[in-house]
Amino acid sequence: MSDIFKRKIIDPKKPITADMLLIEWDGLLAQAVNFSLQYQQPVNRRYTLGTNGKNTVVIYPGRPSGSLQIARLYIDKNENLFVKKGWDPCQDLATLHLNLDGASAFDNCTANGGSFVIRGCLATSWGLQAEAEGLSVMDNINVEFMQLEYNPPA
């Protein structure tokens, strides 16, 4: 059998959904409605002026850095996030663990997106939004960090 649009037949896999992101921040376990993670490595290029019509180029990688934006972080009402590591620049920086256990709403579904370890974290901003019609309160946190590790699913 072939696809009606003549495309290759796909091999669907279990989904990784965003319904189960667990964040561990200095011993505090939290969940988030939305998060965005960026990690980049700057690159410098150096070109020679060249001789006999031949130029040389060298690429020097810079130090990587990243940022994490969290919208609506859910924590236990008895916890105080602002006293954890990563808020006071004169104290230790935080290490965050993000676990992507997707499709948790389905029975017997073991879909898993692995986990990330984010090191050298410092909160750079915090904001609060309240919206009356939807009865929602959203806190938004921005974090800068120095290193990102990925651990694939077991």
Q: For the chain, how big is the Rg over CA atoms in Å?
A: 22
Positive or negative, the Cα torsion across 12, 17, 20, 22? Answer: positive
Identify whether the C-beta of residue 79 lies closer than 8 Å to the C-beta of residue 28.
yes
b (16+ CB within 10 A) / e for 85-105: bbbeeeeebbbbebbbbbbee
Residue 144: which pLDDT band, with cuts at 50, 70 and 90? very high
Q: What is the pLDDT of residues 40-61, one digit of tens each?
A: 999 998 888 877 778 888 899 9
Identify whether the C-beta of residue 55 lies closer than 8 Å to the C-beta of residue 48.
yes
Identify whether the C-beta of residue 57 lies closer than 8 Å to the C-beta of residue 49.
no
Q: What is the pLDDT of residues 84-143, one digit of tens each?
A: 999 998 989 999 999 876 555 556 666 667 889 999 999 999 988 877 876 667 778 999
Distance (Å, rounded) from C-alpha 94 to C-alpha 73?
16
| DSSP secondary structure string for all residues of 46-64 | EE---BTTB--EEEEE---
Which pTM does this prediction carry? 0.73
Positive or negative, the Cα torsion across 65, 68, 69, 75? Answer: negative
